[in-house]
Structure 1
Amino acid sequence: MIRKAALLLAASTGLALPACAGTPPPVQIAAQGPVSGTAQDFRARPVTDEVIYFVLPDRFANGDTTNDDGGYGPDRLASGYDPTHKGWYHGGDLKGLTEKLDYIQGLGVTAIWFAPIFKNKPVQGDPGNPGSLSAGYHGYWVTDFTRVDPHFGTNAEFKAFVDAAHARGMKVYMDIITNHTADVIRYAENEYDYRSKGEYPYSTRGGTDGAPINPGFGGDDDPAAANWAALADPAYAYTPVVPEAEKDIKVPAWLNDPIYYHNRGDSAWVGESSVYGDFVGLDDLFTEHPRVVQGMIDIFGGWIDEFGIDGFRIDTAKHVNPEFWQQFVPAIKARAAATGIPNFHAFGEVYWSNPVQPLGAEIMAKSGLPYTLDFGFAAAAQEVAGGKSAPSMMADLMEQDAVYPGGADTAPGLPTFLGNHDMGRFSMFVRSHAEGADEDEILARVMLGHAMMFTLRGVPTIYYGDEQGFVSDGNDQLAREDMFPSRTDVYNDNDLLGTDATTAQDNFDTRHPLYELIAALAEVRLSSPALMRGTTVVRAFDHEGPGLLAVERHDPASGERVLVAFNTSNAPITRHVEVDYGATGVSALMGQCPLSLAARGSLRIDLPALGYTACTLTSGAD
């Protein structure tokens, strides 16, 4: 299988495969200047000039087995450690992540984003229902925002990791949460359905028929400080109850006061409940409150001050009121700038699945978030590279870029990705969409999707394990496999792409065809200002079935123009594509390109099945 996949890769890039090769050679690229950025100037790189690697520390590398149980002891109900179960801690840690920096940098990665490393509640769920229990290995059930989870190591080990990454010129992005904390608060009513602000306003206790706690609350005559002071005698929609054993579990200490939570019940994921309801029972912070706003600025600003963090991926951003972000983002960016970090990258998670409905743009416009993860790109790439939808879907997505705040110039800074820890892995979607395809075609389509991510607009974001051919069985816990030898049966029975290995063994193979492809694509991208920062003009696309997508990228500062083209079909394509009329010549950046233009303003594209290419358009005297 590997050799046939190598042939497909060679065909995609116009390479001749060495006769004895067992894995594909690197993608053919033209001679270029040095890769963007060095250890000395990494701070100066704009956010567009990165290649991001997203990793769950618990599932990556176990550098210190003594912290596997977090110091809680052998009882898994206390520690959350059970490497045989997909929903519990498996032992990965910061020491292991630091030891694997060579491997990560070898992919061409310039920035590492990792799931939250703050101290979590080890186990959540109903003890009376063992099936509901799982562990905080993913990092999103925070109790202490000021220290590293003991399963992952210490604050000193985190500093060692950041310093080691920075010494290599690699940036570090933290995953942060402001929407909620771990699930600690219970309700005396023993009910959890969402109670609206209309039925249970902040001005009364016990609903609209209840006694007013401050008749002037929210009125035009009340200073804002007085309005919020009224909440010192709060009008809870539900009566919060904190178990005695957990009354002081959260850090900083102000987080232990129920006054700083909405206490309105569980979100129904629509309307106001999407913002003010508990996220699957997690304690939803009262993010309208000035104390909460300033508290979150202090918490995360502290990590910037102490460790020199280069960016934040912001969890559940659309579930927080926009006014919070309007205060938080400028404060955090100012904090970073004062620490000597001019290009701080803040991007929010705005989960949606419609590739041509840019919900992220709407949230950015309302909230002032600089960027959001591009879920629309992921959905389009899954369907287009998978052969389910025509290339017009990706073209339509890029035509929507003008709606982002700042217009289409904003889009190159959006982190793009193919799959993740919530949705599932890209290869899973490709297998689902490419009906009847064998494993060689699946691998070729996965390669095609990566070529799209690295050459179309946006900041390519690799989900750990994709470079080793990991194939998830589903989303969430089923897409969070171990890179170190796994003891989880539901992972170990998966057939990986491009290899005969399984997750039961170590998977850090730098000769895996996907590892080599991604490293080569990163080199292409980082050598080209147009691919990193360029504007986009869609030049050609097929709108019925799989076929051609051609896009021209232009960087005004350097003048570089690159035409990238993809064939999502199983048959070769020859097509003449319009290009900028100022172009007088062409050269290959990646793959095969014609020796000259077909005519002024026209380039002939020849692509094999599932092939792709990148051609630099040159200008000068005729």
Structure 2
Amino acid sequence: MDVPNTRSKLVDDAFAENPIVYFLLTDRFCRGGGTPPSRAAVNDPGTFHGGKFAGVTRRIQEGWFNALGVNALWISAPYEQIRGWVASENDEFRHEAYHGYWPLDFTVVEPRFGSRDDFKDMVDCAHAHGLKVILDVVMSHAGYPDLATLLAFVPDAVLPGWENATPKDYKSFMAMDTVRMAKWWGPEWVRAEIDGYPDGGDDDLTRISYGLPKFLTESDAPVSLPAFLRDKPDTEAIHLDDTPVRGYLISWLCAWVRRYGIDGFRCDSVKHVDGRCWSELKAAAGEALRQWRAEHTPDVDDADFWMTGEVFGGGIEYARHYDHGFDNLINFRFQGEAKAVFRNVDMNSAFSRGMAWRRLDKLYARYADVLSESRHNVLSYLSSHDTELFDRAHLRNAATALMLLPGGVQIFYGDESGRKESDGVSTLTDACQVARSDMNWESIDTALLEHWRKLGRFRAGHPAIGRGKHIRLSEEPYVFARMHGATGDTVLVALGPGDASIEVGALLPDHATLHDAYSGEWFDIDDGILSFRVDELRLFELAPSLARSSGRLAA
């Protein structure tokens, strides 16, 4: 599919105030040649599928993200993951670290995604297209000690016959005693369900979740480099004097910022990490980014390093985690709230549709009340790799609801294209795998994509949408305004169908001209009244007369 190959003029420089973040799992997004990742067998939903950094670069070059109005890419963790697999929940399939949450070596690139040069090319290309790059990072836990990883670094912990291990019996081929596993991370680095290692506790900070080795981020004791990293030939990890566990993790993560100019982090499992970690990471990453910019973009006055965090179940209210350096937290509640807006709704019924818009207006008003003048912000989403895909039957209307929502927004790869769930895995106990299917490059829903693009570009050009005061002007058709006092930005939005004559004299200058960014049409305000017909959607923005006479918006 051909898409514009231009840098979007609508990218908002005040990114923290108007984040429009596209999240992709590198492994599931695109191969280097631009083709979809390989279609895995039904019994292999958890394996690496072949997506590459080079595939992301190609889609940036083609303008895929700019066409959506996106101003940042959230990329799954790029550093090296455990080398093999572990059993999924209920031993249903082999689960590999394609998602980036089972780290092995934070200092080198995951080779299954490409080379260090491939990663640099991707980041440089994103920056050239006006996109910030946000890396998914983990500080709460290390990756599992799987068979392949143990064979590489603790071979005497693997018993004969391991080649025939299945998800149901693979642990029987591991001899993870205290002596052998001292060659791994070591008990001064992690809590683990291994003899001789510290046990997990009962609180968020010390609890071992899903059997993952838990970094001792709360400890102030200096540690030496883990044994396996000392012997690993390709690592860039070195011993740091008088440094606790969290100091190593911060150093390793900030090296990505200093080397490539990474603009921000999406921080995994925030509440399971000592708060000092996040504060120290934010300060160190900010300094690393300043150093990179001083060397590479000395004439560009850009924003500070940005961090958003995963506090599972969190909403839009201010939380204590903002005090530890977070600019933003992920809003886990909107997905359910959006489902409730369209629950039992027939959009072909005027009564049913009106009920949906009334629900949506209450939601918008509440979000704007909390976020329009606040010093914190959130990322809301429809679909997530941690939960589920949004109901595809309501995806078009849900896209409208998300992209006009107060606060920041996150587009999950494939929501814009109608990507379906993974084939044959809908009955798996691990429901997250259903949402992590391969990007559907060969079956794009072009009408849905164009809908997302119009909404995204409109949002990118108007801070009022994310930070403005919300004012309902009409219930049927549903019409509302957003006004952003700091910038003077005002937009009007109408959701149809229906005819409307709206009094806008108190909001906009009389005899002004409005441009509908959705249809491309122009409308005049006469004696304070804006009259129009809306079928699905109108996105009104104030436009100068010069733009009207030239038939396009002024740059």
Q: Structures share a fold, TM > 0.5?
A: yes
1: distance between equivalents of 2:106 and 2:523?
Answer: 58
Cα 1:149/1:372, change in 2 over 3 Å: same
2: distance between equivalents of 1:51 and 1:146?
Answer: 29
Deviation at 1:54, TM superposition (A): 1.3
Unaligned runs of 5+ in 1: 1-22, 27-32, 70-80, 186-239, 250-255, 266-270, 429-441, 484-502
Q: Percent identity?
A: 24
1:36 is matched with 10
* Cα displacement string for residues 143-189 of structure 1 (whole angstroms, at most 9, x for unaligned residues): 1111122211222221121122222222211111111111239xxxx
Deviation at 1:371, TM superposition (A): 0.4
Q: How does 1:178-193 map to 2 (within 5 A)?
A: 178-184=139-145
Secondary structure at the counterpart of residue 145 of structure 1: strand
1:537 is matched with 470
1:422 is matched with 386
Task: Say yes or no: does 1:167 pair with 2:100.
Answer: no
2: distance between equivalents of 1:91 and 1:245?
Answer: 33
Q: Is the 8 A contact 2:14 2:303 kept in 1?
A: no
- Choose from 493, 509, 531 the match for 1:564: 493
1:47 is matched with 16
Secondary structure at the counterpart of residue 372 of structure 1: strand
Q: Is the 8 A contact 1:583 1:619 kept in 2?
A: no
1:72 is matched with none
Q: Is the 8 A contact 2:44 2:94 kept in 1?
A: no
1: distance between equivalents of 2:487 and 2:523?
Answer: 23
Task: Say yes or no: does 1:276 pair with 2:206.
Answer: yes
2: distance between equivalents of 1:468 and 1:582?
Answer: 36
Cα 1:278/1:535, change in 2 over 3 Å: same
* Cα displacement string for residues 404-427 of structure 1 (whole angstroms, at most 9, x for unaligned residues): 6xx73446x532321121222223
Q: Is the 8 A contact 1:260 1:292 kept in 2?
A: yes
Q: Is the 8 A contact 1:46 1:343 kept in 2?
A: no
Deviation at 1:247, TM superposition (A): 4.8
Deviation at 1:115, TM superposition (A): 1.4
Task: Say yes or no: does 1:408 pair with 2:373.
Answer: yes
* Cα displacement string for residues 210-247 of structure 1 (whole angstroms, at most 9, x for unaligned residues): xxxxxxxxxxxxxxxxxxxxxxxxxxxxxx96677765
- Choose from 304, 312, 320 the match for 2:265: 312
Deviation at 1:563, TM superposition (A): 1.9
Cα 1:455/1:345, change in 2 over 3 Å: same
Q: Is the 8 A contact 1:358 1:400 kept in 2?
A: yes
The TM-score, its normalising length taken from structure 2, stands at 0.70
2:442 is matched with 507
The TM-score, its normalising length taken from structure 1, stands at 0.63
Cα 1:285/1:614, change in 2 over 3 Å: same
2: distance between equivalents of 1:466 and 1:408?
Answer: 29
2:409 is matched with 460
The RMSD of aligned alpha carbons is 4.1
Q: Is the 8 A contact 1:119 1:149 kept in 2?
A: yes
Q: How many residue pairs were aligned?
A: 454
Q: How does 1:1-150 map to 2 (within 5 A)?
A: 35-37=9-11, 45-63=14-32, 85-101=44-60, 102=62, 104-105=64-65, 106-125=67-86, 131=92, 133-150=94-111
1: distance between equivalents of 2:324 and 2:499?
Answer: 44
Amino acid at match of 2:275: P
2: distance between equivalents of 1:386 and 1:136?
Answer: 35
Q: How does 1:188-337 map to 2 (within 5 A)?
A: 247-248=182-183, 256-263=185-192, 273-290=203-220, 291-337=244-290
Amino acid at match of 1:421: H
Q: Is the 8 A contact 1:346 1:370 kept in 2?
A: yes
Deviation at 1:591, TM superposition (A): 4.3
Task: Say yes or no: does 1:589 pair with 2:519.
Answer: no
Deviation at 1:283, TM superposition (A): 1.1
Q: Is the 8 A contact 1:550 1:564 kept in 2?
A: yes
1: distance between equivalents of 2:381 and 2:28?
Answer: 19
Cα 1:84/1:580, change in 2 over 3 Å: farther
